[in-house]
Structure 1
Amino acid sequence: MRPSYYPEGVFDESKVSSSKSSNSKTQLWHTKGRCPKGTIPMRRTKKADLLRASSIKSYGRKKHRSIPKPRSADPDFSSQSGHQHAIAYVEGDKYYGAKATLNVWEPKIQQPNEFSLSQIWILGGSFGEDLNSIEAGWQVSPDLYGDTNTRLFTYWTINNEIAMGASIYPVSGFKASQYDINILVWKDPKEGNWWMQFGNNYVLGYWPAFLFPYLSDSASMIEWGGEVVNSESDGQHTSTQMGSGHFPGEGFGKSSYFKNIQIVDDSNKLRDPKDIGIFTEQPNCYDVKTGKMGDWGNYFYYGGPGRNTNCP
């Protein structure tokens, strides 16, 4: 299982395998061993997982997620969805993929039914019923996984080194070592499938082209950033953290970031995005700040603590 083409400038195709061996501890289960050749890792389904689901039929199905609409004129957008975001985005062109290095943290979650994630969105169609999305990144979701570990998430992937839903290891610490993951999603120009690569070596698998009528040619918007659920169960804003739980102005080692954000163009080449916009519903709760420099390329810091004196 290999794509017909890789985006130009990513790596030497002859040196990449979809199951390349590595000693790096990118997921916690790697400390216990590896999968034998011809097998794939799968997170074990336990009784407690089934009991947390509203029904057997709904177990394992992707729950509704809010898609941030950066240029929405609706002042009640955040309250209607119950989701809040801090993102950078591009639109107005044809996009055939996206790439970024994501700083990995373990944000604190207030309520079991809330989550905090950081991801890439690849979007096609119009906002509403006619919207297709491909999403990949990391998340903390007690309701889904039964713990507060930071886990890699997406769908339609198979690889014998990297497991979907498995805990990412290690994670960053405040004023301590910082850890990142690289994610690339791109459209195979020959077969039309959307492929995902994790890190520099692991081609995880693909989303079949037939799933996405509005992404059959290209995407119309790319988004990078964070999302949380604000349940406001006690009448106050949630204290669920986004990213590191610290605002962008605190900088490296304190605030979470995306760096080297890129898009894949119609020539199947990675390039820097143009006219990057930012969006957040409530900047006093979660914010985003972009920049560009040296080895980081286009980057942004994002996130925040949620409830605080300015975010009641």
Structure 2
Amino acid sequence: MGTEKTKEACFCFFCFHSNYTTRQQQQHSLNFKQQKQKPKHKQQILVSSSCFKFPHLTSVFVFILLLVSSVFPATTANKFRQEHHVFRPPEEINKMKLIEAHLNKINKPFVKSIQSPDGDTIDCVLAHHQPAFDHPKLKGQKPLDPPERPNRHVEGVNSSENYQLWSLSGESCPEGTVPIRRTTEQDILRANSIRKFGRKIRPVQRDTSSYGHEHAVGYVSGNKYYGAKASINVWAPKVANRYEFSLSQMWLLSGSFGNDLNTIEAGWQVSPELYGDYRPRFFTYWTTDAYQTTGCYNLLCSGFIQTNNRIAIGAAISPTSVYNGGQFDISLMIWKDPKHGNWWLQFGSRTLVGYWPASLFTHLRDHASMVQFGGEVVNSRPSGSHTFTQMGSGHFSGLGFGKASYIRNMQVVDWGNNLIPLSNFKILADHPNCYDIRGGTNRVWGNYIYYGGPGKNPRCP
């Protein structure tokens, strides 16, 4: 009889403790507010009735566990909060503040914003408020009027040359503004650091693949060049990972391939790190110190001055070429304005995009000493072997039109502001078993090249 009373007392204590613990948990959880409104006696009855269903030894064991939890409730709660709440360290908080400050610097106030089908936001910014004029050498300036185009430049109809996704909606930026792709927090977080955001990893001279850059290019050198023009076949090559890119472009270079290299570049690129997707995008680049501290892609730093309200640098190009199907290319021309000495960029046959002021440069302040056309990829050697990242169409040059990527009608601008054919044209592929190139000339295409490749394959381990 005494044993039964002791057993009943233990059970009653267990029931009381269960009810107490339940109420204590209710006070620490917003999710149980409704339960707290229920009559306490009803809850006690429920707990008590279930209490006697436990065998004696099990009840004692559970009682001990509950007793321990009642002694250390704060510790358990604190541990729960630590496991389910993210506490940002000071370093991360400072990083986010720096990112916010950088975004405020490059995302200028806009008079209109346009949503692109690919997810981009295009801001229409007053031309004199664009990032270029943050540069110490350009402060207080305004965009210049269009220059004289090179002689022998054939102009076409300018009716349907804006091949960018954001413009397909029919929306456009007002006169007096320039369209700028809005940079997001995610864009910067994909980069290794804020300092490196919008910059190329430093490539080196064309006969080496150091730093993971590989090329297949045609080039001219040995004279003074004041511009270049070409039509570049547009594809959407596969890029193996976010740390690599694939591009097709033309370069104007001056200086050595040491720390004093000056470049002006334009073309299309697929760069998941920079843009967050795998679409080919129209891009520009410049540097005056071999990609170390000066210059950037597009308008991600001060320098390039945009004058056009229909072309957004960094926006996706559409359509793209199809293997053994329709082919699409964009015509680009860069030339030095004889009057002011600035380097102007033209998209299509008549659309002036803007210019790089001569004051940005050292060697290119006068002329270029080399012009290159072709492709470039970054090979990060994933898993210790060559990357699968494609160049051009992803197929070798020997397949020809419709299958291999091409650049046609390649010309340069001479000292008299004349467009002329290439002379002493040479080709070079860093790793021809991975990406190759071949050149030719005919009456329709003038100087042209086919180039590209799949990257890793049995001959490119």
TM-based fold match above 0.5 = yes
Structure with a larger share of its residues in strand = 1
CA distance in 2, matches of 1:6, 1:93: 21
- One of 130, 137, 142 as aligned partner of 2:267: 137
Q: 2:200 is matched by which residue type in structure 1?
A: K
Match of 1:30 in 2: 167
- One of 65, 81, 92 as aligned partner of 2:222: 92
CA distance in 2, matches of 1:296, 1:243: 18
Q: TM-score, normalised by structure 2?
A: 0.62
CA drift of 1:56 comes to 3.6
Closer/same/farther in 2, CA of residues 296 and 67 from structure 1, 3 Å limit: farther
Closer/same/farther in 2, CA of residues 11 and 99 from structure 1, 3 Å limit: same
Match of 1:168 in 2: 317
Please tell me whether residue 10 in structure 1 is matched to residue 140 in structure 2.
no
Residues 117 and 228, structure 1, Cα contact 8 Å, conserved in 2? yes
Q: Secondary structure at the match of 2:273?
A: helix
Residues 232 and 329, structure 2, Cα contact 8 Å, conserved in 1? yes
Please list, as runs of the form range in 1=range in 2, the aligned pairs for 1:183-194 lying within 5 A after superposition. 183-194=332-343
Residues 97 and 265, structure 1, Cα contact 8 Å, conserved in 2? yes
CA distance in 1, matches of 2:202, 2:360: 17
Match of 2:378 in 1: 229
Match of 1:245 in 2: 394
Structure 2: gaps of 5 or more residues: 1-143, 285-297, 299-303
CA distance in 1, matches of 2:305, 2:452: 28
Q: Secondary structure at the match of 1:295?
A: coil
Residues 164 and 318, structure 2, Cα contact 8 Å, conserved in 1? yes
CA distance in 2, matches of 1:194, 1:249: 35
Q: Which has the higher contact order (CA 8 A, sep 6+)?
A: 1
Structure with a larger share of its residues in helix = 2
CA distance in 2, matches of 1:234, 1:54: 20
Residues 157 and 164, structure 1, Cα contact 8 Å, conserved in 2? no
Q: 1:42 is matched by which residue type in structure 2?
A: I
Please tell me whether residue 48 in structure 1 is matched to residue 48 in structure 2.
no
Task: Please say which structure displays the higher CA radius of gyration.
Answer: 2
CA distance in 2, matches of 1:246, 1:5: 39
Q: Secondary structure at the match of 1:41?
A: strand
Please tell me whether residue 39 in structure 1 is matched to residue 177 in structure 2.
yes
Residues 98 and 262, structure 1, Cα contact 8 Å, conserved in 2? yes
Closer/same/farther in 2, CA of residues 181 and 157 from structure 1, 3 Å limit: farther
1:33-75 residue CA offsets vs partner (Å, 9 max, x unmatched):
221222221112223212212334443x322342543xx5xxx
Structure 1: gaps of 5 or more residues: none
Match of 1:148 in 2: 278
Match of 2:430 in 1: 281
Q: 1:10 is matched by which residue type in structure 2?
A: H
CA distance in 2, matches of 1:68, 1:290: 21
Q: 2:372 is matched by which residue type in structure 1?
A: E
Match of 2:360 in 1: 211
Q: TM-score, normalised by structure 1?
A: 0.91
Closer/same/farther in 2, CA of residues 56 and 216 from structure 1, 3 Å limit: closer
Q: 1:63 is matched by which residue type in structure 2?
A: K
Q: 1:174 is matched by which residue type in structure 2?
A: Y
Please tell me whether residue 122 in structure 1 is matched to residue 257 in structure 2.
no
Instruction: Give aligned-pair identity as a percent.
Output: 54
Residues 96 and 268, structure 1, Cα contact 8 Å, conserved in 2? yes
Closer/same/farther in 2, CA of residues 182 and 306 from structure 1, 3 Å limit: same
CA drift of 1:287 comes to 0.3
CA distance in 1, matches of 2:160, 2:391: 30
CA distance in 2, matches of 1:238, 1:310: 13
Residues 246 and 304, structure 1, Cα contact 8 Å, conserved in 2? yes
Q: Secondary structure at the match of 1:50?
A: helix
CA distance in 2, matches of 1:264, 1:25: 25
- One of 281, 299, 306 as aligned partner of 2:448: 299
Residues 68 and 85, structure 1, Cα contact 8 Å, conserved in 2? no
Closer/same/farther in 2, CA of residues 67 and 200 from structure 1, 3 Å limit: farther
Q: Secondary structure at the match of 1:40?
A: strand
CA drift of 1:296 comes to 0.5
CA distance in 2, matches of 1:196, 1:223: 16
CA distance in 2, matches of 1:25, 1:217: 31
Q: 2:147 is matched by which residue type in structure 1?
A: S
CA distance in 2, matches of 1:4, 1:145: 32
CA distance in 1, matches of 2:388, 2:195: 31
Two-structure CA RMSD over aligned residues (Å): 1.6
CA distance in 1, matches of 2:227, 2:202: 21
Residues 217 and 428, structure 2, Cα contact 8 Å, conserved in 1? yes
Closer/same/farther in 2, CA of residues 232 and 184 from structure 1, 3 Å limit: same
- One of 176, 193, 213 as aligned partner of 1:83: 213
Match of 2:199 in 1: 62
